[in-house]
Structure 1
Amino acid sequence: MSDTVRNDKDLHDRLADRITSQADEHASGARPHLRRSRAGLGRTRGRGSMAAAVESGAEKILRAIEEAEEQLHKHLHDVSKGVRIMGENHARNDKNIETMLNSIVNTSRKQDKVRDGGGIGKDRFDPTKEPHTVTLEWKPGMPKQAFERKAKALQRLGEEGQLFKFKGKTKDYRDSSLTAKYKGALEALIRRNHKDDPEFAKEAAEAARKMEPDHINELQTGGPDAWRNLRMLDHFTNRDIGWHQIRPQIRDLPDGNPIRIDIKWWPDD
């Protein structure tokens, strides 16, 4: 890749912001469908944290996790822009959260430099190659709203030419501490937000702990290993889409090959 592409941080940030805004836009748009999706989950075989919360009627837990993650992204955006989110007279817990946020932002910046520095793989699709269609399929056990949000976000990215076969192994371009820090900050925010109800705070934090920070745009399809590309997702949906659906369908593609997404919906719709 050229030095111009490699060092154009403004372009990189604009693309990354677009990924985040698209995911957030879909998350907001999907909210009217949450009740229908949640009701349907009782008919699935899933036992992930999200499904378990729904099946037990813990709507409040789901809302607490969703609201805390929205808050986390806003805080991380502010920190990345140099804005302090905590007051000078913050309590010890707030200071711990601020430390976590700074660590997440710094780790993300380091990962951006690793990727932009070259030697990892192409950071854009190869327009000389025909797009390859990857089919994503809902399976029993997947929370339908979670699958829909993930699949549609990838579909939009594909339509915009932002999905492609990334060169090499994702383990060579990933800092596992980032997702651990992200989840830790989310749990801390949940506990702080509900400190007046410690039993509920504990229950909601434990539910969030059983979920996973998912890369909205998969690393294997060119997504950045950065906070702006993370959203919580249940374990089964995350692993199945990434490892059992996308990976085998793109394994033999040439590096940089564009990818498009087709969605196969559930049979009862």
Structure 2
Amino acid sequence: MARRPSTGTKRRGGVAKPGEGNLVSAAVKKASAPPVKRNNDLPEVTIRIERKSFHHRTDFDRKAAALKRLSDQGKLFKQANPLARDGSVTGGFKDRIIKKLYNKYVKNNTGSTEQKALDEAAFERMRQRVVSQNPDHVWELQLGGPDEVGNLKLMDARTNRDIGTQIRVQIMNLPDGTPIRIEVVD
């Protein structure tokens, strides 16, 4: 009889994940910093977000405009890190979008056979695009944004990661609550 992996391991690509991984995850959750508020007693710091050649232009422009607008409204500040996140917020985001697209273009399609084929092809193109993108917190969590579905949009994965990294590197040594102003470099 084959032996089952011990509790706390997960099979991934045929390789067992060490059981200690669960302990590390639990420690990170416990070590999460409590959320902070904007501290207007601290001096405002301007950070730059630079558009790079590999960025998806539309996604970069949308994200930069949203952050600039929040900055102009005085809503951005350095949030404590690591911040506790609810994995269910982003976890099923793409699946919910794909399900809505499926229901609209395939499941509830009452058109002709030819129209159904066109709609199924359109659905598959949209599904592939959704799969290739990441859920993005439009108002960055690290800048005080809410961890909720209403703050999510799909975004090119590489652009999303790079913008987040640009921000993180510039704010990591600032005191929690520091007001942030955004400058966009194109």
CA deviation after TM superposition for structure 1 residue 189, in Å:
1.1
1:64-105: CA deviation from partner (whole Å, max 9, x where unpaired): xxxxxxxxxxxxxxxxxxxxxxxxxxxxxxxxxxxxxxxxxx
Instruction: Give the strand-richer structure, 1 or 2.
Output: 2
Decide which of 116, 137, 144 is 1:222's aligned counterpart: 144
Query: TM-score under structure 1 normalisation?
Result: 0.51
**Residues 66-215 of structure 1 mapped to structure 2, 5 A cutoff:** 120-122=34-36, 124-170=37-83, 173-195=84-106, 196=116, 197-215=119-137
Matched pairs, number: 143
Counterpart Cα distance in 2 of 1:257 and 1:181: 32
Which has the higher Rg, Structure 1 or Structure 2?
2
CA RMSD of aligned residues (A): 1.2
The share of aligned pairs that are identical, in percent, is: 37
Give the corresponding residue for 1:115.
none
CA deviation after TM superposition for structure 1 residue 177, in Å:
2.4
Query: TM-score under structure 2 normalisation?
Result: 0.73
Structure 2 unaligned spans of 5+: 1-32, 107-115
Instruction: Give the helix-richer structure, 1 or 2.
Output: 1
Counterpart Cα distance in 1 of 2:87 and 2:138: 16
Structure 1 unaligned spans of 5+: 1-118
Counterpart Cα distance in 2 of 1:148 and 1:249: 20
CA deviation after TM superposition for structure 1 residue 249, in Å:
0.1
1:10-49: CA deviation from partner (whole Å, max 9, x where unpaired): xxxxxxxxxxxxxxxxxxxxxxxxxxxxxxxxxxxxxxxx
Whose RCO is larger (CA < 8 A, sep 6+)? 2
1:179-238: CA deviation from partner (whole Å, max 9, x where unpaired): 121111111111122113223212211211110110011111101100111111000110
Counterpart Cα distance in 2 of 1:216 and 1:201: 25
- Structure 1 moving runs of 4+ over 4 Å: none
